[in-house]
Amino acid sequence: MSSLRVFVTSLGIISPIGENASQTVAALETSACGLAPLALFPSSVEPPLPAGEVKSLAPGAMPRTHRLALSAAREAMATADGPPDAVVMGVTTGGMPASEPLLKNNCVDPAKYRYHGTGTVAHYIAEALGCHGPVLTVSTACSSGMVALKLACELLTSGRARRVLAGGADGLCRLTYYGFNSLQLVDPAGARPFDVDRRGMSVGEGAAMLLLEAAPSPPAGAMAEVMAVGLTCDAYHPAAPHPDGAGALQSMRLAVADAGCAATDIDYINLHGTGTPDNDAAEAKALHAVFDDMPLPPVSSIKGAAGHTLAAAGAVNAAISVLCIAHGIIPANTGCRQPDPGLQLTPVDAPQRRPVELVLSNAFGFGGNNASIVIGKPAQTGLSRRSSNGSTAFAILGSSCLSGAGNCVQTLAALRGAAAVSGIAPAMAVMEGLDEGAVRRLKRLPRMVLSLAIAAQASAGAAAQPKAVFFGTGWGGLSETHDFLTRLFSSGERFTSPTDFIGSVHNAPAGQAAINFQAQGPNITLTDGDYSFEQALYSAGLIAHEAAGPFMVIGADEYHEKLTPLFDASAAAASAAADGGGALLLQPADAATGLRIAPLFVSNDPCSKLTMQRLIAVLGGPENIGKKYGAVFAGIPGSQRDKGNEQLALFIQQTGCNCPVIDYRKFTGQFASASAVAAVIAVACVRAGELPAGLCSAGPASLRGWGILLLGLGQCITAMEILC
């Protein structure tokens, strides 16, 4: 067990009830409500639905989500003596608040969409703060911010970082405002969590960022300690919670157990509490099961005051939990006038002043993604609660890919015959292994992900059932996003598709995979353009030991004829359209032998020679590199061609590398998840002991029993290795 603990040394928060921590505390003390009829953009719903809008947010050139995130980040870092070692954020809307008007007006200038990508928010924060370490973006719907805190804790306790800025942010936009309303999940009277007459949520916006530090005992000024975070997946429904709250129950139990406390030690429970009938009922059932029908401590949700801030919600809840501990306050459950007797809960009806030492907080999202966190008052002595298992070596049980040539077998056959594999993955290959009736309502990306996952599992044998899913996607469901917005705009913002809204969420395909396999462990979607698959694999290296069995790592992106050229600069610069993906069924590798993959390096500093030196040191130095790898697969995005080539030349110069170096995007085509396809091809090459003719101009080349190093170059520098 690790001797390191995780402490919150500062935080920043901006929401409809306060633009900083002090204003937030004042609002909690007075039960202030920030819900009001939407004013940010014209609403076709009359009267406009109540929403949690941050009216104090200053205008600016950056999208609304980015500005909210920067406000919270600057507050959190105001007294820090240097940049964080890493930034981990939960985001779902990204640049959508700025992209929607552009799409509505048929703007076709890709430069205008520069900050559309969900991952651009974390990079914007990292650049503003001077962070050159890992920058990770989680997109697991409304649990995103809390899942980001989990990954940050693992970065710290595994020794990969000393100080991490983590949290979540989302700005109000038409996609979420009209999307949730299309599901009939918005209460026209404003959110009333746990009220007998509750009818739904109120969409909100905001950001919260926590500065986390690893130390054996509380550092000076520590506000609280993150005791534990539990993650589960319902594997039940794309949008609805398990009716008995089974996943929520397990995430709370995991968090409480890992914190080394009993449920009865909890002083206050900060509930997810959206105000929707099903969510509140499921959370209440889970809560009673956690406490085994014993009396509950005070409970409340703040969403009747601030609205549901979506990806920020879990981080906002965590930040408020810290403020409750620091200021001795328990917030009221604003909006609830008559508690629903069927839930057997009595939410706090007025703010309470009392000591708070231990808080349990929840965040649940689409796809059945559940996160629960236990935060405590910092103590000089504490239980070591997390494994320091920093192992990132995974045994490869199965693999699959989709490319322009077709499935994995067809892709490898094309490479052996020196044929191209780039292009749009054929529809027949995408549908392979799928029941047409079962997937009739799914569009291209979730079908790709399901097909990849099923094929990877089948290649490993029926007994190897994945318990967790890690998914990387640069752009998410573009077909669903396009169709939702097209119908919205063409109808004068009166009509939308609830099915397309659910599918537009980046983690929707991973949720489908979890349902297919009944994988109830962590279900995490990472998104950062060309580095999304690498982030998914890297995140698996942080928490896969909690999966208790095999797990799936998938990377996939679809080509959309209208949106891809606008959003993906590399695809826009390519000579031909391409898409596809890859999947690996893995398990922790206890032995140092056998076919295995390891994520080794993630950096947000593309220009520094020092970063290249750090990478080479992580790889064991030039001598070890020369004896370990029989080939290098270099991933150079088309939009980063000059920079990537410079980095590759520097790597070769500093290592003396003389093995074959393959620019794999020349073969796979330009799309965000090309690295997932390259990884599966590399697995096949290492297994066969040679590179196929399609990758080498002089014909097949022997790997001499060595492995393959995969480098990601350009805006970020990443490394993963495949060895036998």
Give pLDDT tens digits for 223-249.
999 999 999 999 999 999 999 999 999
> Domain boundaries in the chain?
5-376, 394-723
Q: Which residues of 659-669 are buried (b: 16+ CB within 10 A; e: fewer)?
A: bbebbbbebbb
pLDDT of residue 383: 56
Where are any strands of DSSP class E within 540-667?
A: 551-557, 580-588, 596-603, 629-635, 661-663
- Express each pLDDT in 4-20 by its tens digit: 999 999 999 999 999 99
- Express each pLDDT in 21-46 by its tens digit: 999 999 999 999 999 999 999 999 99
- Express each pLDDT in 547-595 by its tens digit: 788 999 999 999 999 999 999 999 998 999 999 999 999 998 765 568 9
Considering the candidates 66, 242, 272, 482, report the single residue annotated as catalytic: 272
State yes or no: pLDDT of 316 exceeds 50.
yes
Distance CA 682, CA 629 (A): 12
pLDDT band for 382, please (50, 70, 90 cuts): low
Distance CA 17, CA 32 (A): 7
Considering the candidates 33, 131, 142, 685, report the single residue annotated as catalytic: 142
Distances (CA, A) of 416 to 160, 410, 665, 684, 689: 40, 10, 17, 11, 13
Which of 18, 20, 23, 145 has its CA nearest to residue 78?
20
CATH architecture of 5-376: 3-Layer(aba) Sandwich (3.40)
> Given the DSSP bridges, would you call strands 707-712 and 717-723 parallel, antiparallel or unpaired?
antiparallel
Residue 384, classed as helix, strand or coil, is coil
Considering the candidates 66, 116, 123, 308, report the single residue annotated as catalytic: 308
Specify whether the CB–CB gap between 149 and 229 falls below 8 A.
yes
Which of 139, 156, 169 has its CA nearest to residue 225?
156
Q: Looking at residue 195, what DSSP letter applies?
A: B
Domains 5-376 and 394-723 share a fold: yes
Q: Is 112 exposed, middle or buried (0-12, 13-18, 19+ CB in 10 A)?
A: middle
pLDDT band for 1, please (50, 70, 90 cuts): very low
pLDDT band for 2, please (50, 70, 90 cuts): very low
Catalytic residue list contains 308 = yes
Domain 394-723: top CATH class = alpha beta
pLDDT of residue 592: 56
How high does pLDDT run on average in the chain? 95
pLDDT of residue 3: 80
Q: ∠613-615-618 over CA atoms, to 5°?
A: 110
Catalytic residue list contains 272 = yes
- Express each pLDDT in 589-608 by its tens digit: 765 568 999 999 999 987 77
CA 12 to chain CA mean position, Å: 20
Q: Pick the residue with more confidence: 388 or 556?
A: 556
Q: Is 78 exposed, middle or buried (0-12, 13-18, 19+ CB in 10 A)?
A: exposed
Most trustworthy range by pLDDT among 308-312, 460-464, 572-576, 693-697:
308-312
pLDDT of residue 635: 97
pLDDT of residue 420: 84
